[in-house]
Amino acid sequence: MGRDVAQAVGLFQLVVAGGSCVAHVRLEHCYNCGNGIEKSIEEVLRLYQLAAQNYDDSGITALASLHKFGKGVPRDEEQAVYLYRRAA
């Protein structure tokens, strides 16, 4: 199974480079959980920011959650509320 997950991560990375918002969120999950790749909150944050820049509601919501709980960024309730409203 490890090889399959590593191959999936590689494919997600290619699709993300092509601009897929769905792949941003899938690849983020791999980085967040360490599935097929080393955990990296910095990469999670970068992927959510890219998804949010592309107006992907799930990316914006996930980015809001990072701000709400202070994961990878300083805790910022106001920014979280702004992002949640933006995604609505």
pLDDT over threshold 80, residue 61: yes
- Position 78, amino acid: E
What is the set of domains in the chain, with CATH numbers? Answer: 2-87 (1.25.40.10)
For CA atoms 38, 52, 56, 59, the dihedral sign is positive
pTM value is 0.78
Q: Supply 31's token pair.
A: 């980085």
- The pLDDT tens digits for 14-57 are 888 887 777 777 888 888 888 888 899 998 898 888 888 888 88
For 66, other C-beta atoms within 10 Å of its C-beta total 21
**Residue pointed to by tokens 């191959």:** 7
Query: Residue 1 above 70 pLDDT?
Result: no
Higher pLDDT, 33 or 75: 75
